[in-house]
Amino acid sequence: MDFQKKTGVEVWILIGKAIIVFLAGGFAFHMIVMITDYFLMIKPFYLNMRENFAGSFFSAPMMPMVAVYGLLSLGIYLLWLKTKKAALIVREKEIQKEHAETVLKSMQRLTGIMVENIASQNSEIMSWVEFRKKQGRPVSQIVETSNKNIATALHSLSELSFVYPYAKASPRNIYDFEKELQNKLSDARLR
């Protein structure tokens, strides 16, 4: 347990729980063992449970066993807490992974729709530019550069949506995708 992150009240509650588990578990284990011994012993084993219950079960020579059973109970309790915490962490990671996969699938569908519509418009512009060049007529450099930038941006978005998630160093959340897209677009502008 990480005591540095807990407040004083939480630490005392944790200590109280540990003491209760130690005492209750130790006594419960000891009673179960003693009753089992009583029924499994071949020779007569006398437990005076009606008149001297405490003396029969918890005599001074038995206290070290009770302490060991208490430690066993405390150990089981602490292992259970750690297991519970680990299971919650694993579940949270699974939820995050499912969320990332859902976002990825949605992004891929949206990218497909956008690229399909924008690419068809951009291909018309490219055809017009090529047609003008074949005729020997001048084409505005702004139109030609913008057309190439749109094609590069669409290529970067498609690559980021459909190739990059399945690469070894794929981003883990949507912010990583945004950052990678911005990096790709800025790299494309510098070319």
Per-residue pLDDT of 5-60, as tens digits, reads 668 888 888 888 889 998 898 888 888 887 787 777 766 656 666 666 666 667 77
pLDDT over 80 at 91, yes or no? yes
Mean pLDDT of 156-165: 79
Residues 105 and 58 in one domain: no
Residues 132 and 110 in one domain: yes
pLDDT over 60 at 104, yes or no? yes
Residues 19 and 62 in one domain: yes
pLDDT of 1: 47
Residues 152 and 120 in one domain: yes
Mean pLDDT of 82-98: 93
Residues 103 and 86 in one domain: no
Residues 37 and 12 in one domain: yes
Mean pLDDT of 92-97: 89
150: containing domain: 95-190
Q: What is the DSSP letter of 2?
A: -
Residues 116 and 153 in one domain: yes
Mean pLDDT of 109-134: 86
